Amino acid sequence: MSFTAKDTKLYREDERAGHRNLGVKEREKLVQAPYHAVTLRVLSILKHHHNTPDYVRRDVSVFKRLPKHVSIILTLEDGGRAGDALEKLVNEASEVAAWCASAGIPRLSIYERTGILKRYMPQTHRALSHKLKSWFGKYQAPPITLITRGASPIYSVNRVSYTQDQVPLEVILVSEDDGREAMVDLTKVLVQMVQQEKILASDITLDVLDHELSEAVMPEPDLLISFEPYVDLQGYPPWPIRLTEIYCAPDNQGVGYQVFLQGLQKYTEATFKLGK
């Protein structure tokens, strides 16, 4: 991976100034960034899963614990203006779903700011199901349920006949609107209940709000992975991630298995301290 345009501009300005703008450490950081990206790429090749669940199971078998709920942030490129942007987004979601299913992680929530996946739920469910069948085989693929706020869930046709080895996968689609609209709807309901004397204002506690919002949108994830080189929540609803482990890989660009695996490693090494 080459320098970014910003890095190149900084380096050239420093060069024209006789290397007086940047210190030694700053110049070293500019040079090291591409090497970090190359290292990540090499590791991705060496540890490629080959679309085989057994490879993923082998990789995660060394972890002492795995999250039950992984959440990821995906980005629709160019605001969806390009014709293949949605297809790329669906492919990325399908890949991560296959990784989770192979690792035995039962719940995956996918945050995409615009909510475009929610507008194509049947197509997204078909893509996810097709990906799992290509990984596990037509009759061995675990059943998948696709859920989003305000819509009926979509189930796999084989959700009743799965075996004990097939961990059902629940996929939740979340967008920026979910945070704002869920808060507005919940506020209206609680105000009405207080006015109708069904509850007292003092009954509305943080625990109550947390429970209701979790029911309305999704429960709190154990691990949140951003595939950007820095943490950019992009309007991600704030209440579900109070205790969530958040991971991103500096210098990474794009959705990759190695970043997913490193996120799981960080989770297993994390120490969680709950306040009183």
Task: Say if 175 falls within a structural domain.
Answer: yes
Q: What pLDDT score was predicted for residue 174?
A: 93
For the entire predicted model, the pTM comes to: 0.74
Say yes or no: 25 and 127 in one domain: no
Say yes or no: 234 and 130 in one domain: yes
Task: Say if 275 falls within a structural domain.
Answer: no
Say yes or no: 14 and 93 in one domain: no
Q: Name the token pair of 132.
A: 């799992």
Say yes or no: 32 and 91 in one domain: no
What whole-number distance in Å separates Cα of residue 254 and Cα of residue 221?
A: 21
Rounded to the nearest integer, the mean pLDDT of the chain is 79
Lowest mean pLDDT among 4-18, 73-87, 143-157, 160-174: 4-18
Q: Which of 238, 258, 239, 237 is nearest to 247 (CA)?
A: 258
Task: Say if 216 falls within a structural domain.
Answer: yes
Q: Which of 188, 207, 208 is nearest to 196 (CA)?
A: 188
In this predicted structure, the answer to whether residue 30 has a pLDDT above a threshold of 60 is no
Say yes or no: 57 and 41 in one domain: no
User: Where in the sequence is the domain holding 120, given as residue range(s)?
Assistant: 53-269
Say yes or no: 30 and 143 in one domain: no
Say yes or no: 32 and 106 in one domain: no
Say yes or no: 16 and 138 in one domain: no
Is residue 71 very low, low, confident or very high in pLDDT (cuts 50, 70, 90)? very high
Tally of domains within the chain: 2
What whole-number distance in Å separates Cα of residue 114 and Cα of residue 123?
A: 17
114 vs 27, higher pLDDT: 114
Is residue 52 very low, low, confident or very high in pLDDT (cuts 50, 70, 90)? confident
Say yes or no: 73 and 114 in one domain: yes
Say yes or no: 147 and 243 in one domain: yes
Say yes or no: 129 and 188 in one domain: yes
Say yes or no: 124 and 106 in one domain: yes
